[in-house]
Structure 1
Amino acid sequence: MAGSLRDILDDHWKVLESDHPTNSNRLRTSDLPVEGRDGRLLAAVDADGLRHILIPISRKQRVRRQLDGANLRVAERALETSTTYTRYADVSCLNQELNDLFSDVCSDVLLAVASSPDKALGATHLVLDRWRSLFSTSSSVLGESRLTGLFAELWVLRRLLTKSSSAVSMWAGPAGYCHDFAFGADAFEVKATTATDGRRVRIHGLDQLDAPHNGRLFVAWMRLQSRPDGHSLVDLVSEVLNLSDDQAALVDKLQQSGYRLADSDWYRDIRFEVVEDAWYAVDAEFPRLTITQLSDSGLPVLVADVAYTIELPDPATSGLDASAVEALHERVMKDIAP
Structure 2
Amino acid sequence: MSMTPDAAALLGEWDELAAVAPGDRLYRTRRLSRPAQLDLRAGLREIDGAPCLVALPGGAGNSIASFETAGLRLSRAADPAGLLLVLSLEEPSRRDLFAEICSDCIRTVLRWEDEGENELVTVLAARLAAWRAFLRDQTSGLSRNEMVGLIGELLVLDRLLDENAEAVAAWKAPDDGLHDFVLSGHGLEVKTALGPTRQLHISTLDQLDDAGLASLHIAHVRLVESVSGDTLGQITTLIEQRLNGERARSAFRNALLRRGLLPGGDANAGPRVACAGIDGYAVSDGFPRLLRNDVSLGIAEATYQVEVRALAGFAVDMATVLDTFGGTGNE
Tell me which of 104, 110, 120 is aligned to 2:111: 104
Q: Which amino acid aligns with 1:252?
A: N
1:228/1:269 contact within 8 Å kept: no
Report the CA distance between 1:111 and its aligned residue.
3.8
1:179/1:188 contact within 8 Å kept: yes
- With 267-276 and 62-71 compared, the bigger mean Cα shift is at 62-71
Taking structure 1 as the reference length, what is the TM-score of the superposition? 0.58
- 1:254 matched to 2:256? The reply is yes
| Structure 2 CA distance for aligned equivalents of residues 164 and 127 of structure 1 | 24
* Seq. identity, %: 23
| Structure 2 CA distance for aligned equivalents of residues 158 and 335 of structure 1 | 16
**Residue-by-residue CA offset, 1:282-334 (whole Å, 9 max, x unaligned):** 12342211124x1xxxx6533223111111127766522xxx32222222233
C-alpha RMSD of matched pairs (Å): 3.9
- 1:172 matched to 2:172? The reply is yes
| Structure 2 CA distance for aligned equivalents of residues 325 and 248 of structure 1 | 29
Cross-structure match for 1:305: 301
Superposed counterparts of 1:153-192, under 5 Å: 153-192=153-192
Q: Which amino acid aligns with 1:69?
A: E
* Distance change >3 Å, CA 69–CA 228, structure 1 → 2: farther
1:186/1:211 contact within 8 Å kept: no
**Residue-by-residue CA offset, 1:256-280 (whole Å, 9 max, x unaligned):** 1101222x21654532112242111
Larger radius of gyration between Structure 1 and Structure 2: 1
**Residue-by-residue CA offset, 1:214-271 (whole Å, 9 max, x unaligned):** 5221111122222232122112112222333522222222111101222x21654532
Q: Which amino acid aligns with 2:250?
A: A
- 1:69 matched to 2:100? The reply is yes
Report the CA distance between 1:130 and its aligned residue.
7.1
| Structure 1 CA distance for aligned equivalents of residues 206 and 125 of structure 2 | 38
- Count how many residue pairs are aligned between Structure 1 and Structure 2: 238
2:112/2:118 contact within 8 Å kept: no
Report the CA distance between 1:211 and its aligned residue.
0.8
Report the CA distance between 1:195 and its aligned residue.
4.1
Unaligned runs of 5+ in 2: 1-31, 44-50, 54-95
Superposed counterparts of 1:37-76, under 5 Å: 64=43, 68-69=99-100, 72=103
* Distance change >3 Å, CA 327–CA 256, structure 1 → 2: same
| Structure 1 CA distance for aligned equivalents of residues 232 and 174 of structure 2 | 17
- 1:328 matched to 2:330? The reply is no
* Distance change >3 Å, CA 143–CA 215, structure 1 → 2: same
Report the CA distance between 1:179 and its aligned residue.
0.9
Q: Which amino acid aligns with 1:257?
A: R
| Structure 1 CA distance for aligned equivalents of residues 280 and 123 of structure 2 | 43
Cross-structure match for 2:288: 287
2:229/2:274 contact within 8 Å kept: yes
SS of alignment partner, residue 279 of structure 1:
strand
1:174/1:254 contact within 8 Å kept: yes
2:231/2:272 contact within 8 Å kept: yes
Taking structure 2 as the reference length, what is the TM-score of the superposition? 0.59
- 1:241 matched to 2:248? The reply is no
**Residue-by-residue CA offset, 1:158-182 (whole Å, 9 max, x unaligned):** 1111111111111112211211111
SS of alignment partner, residue 283 of structure 1:
coil
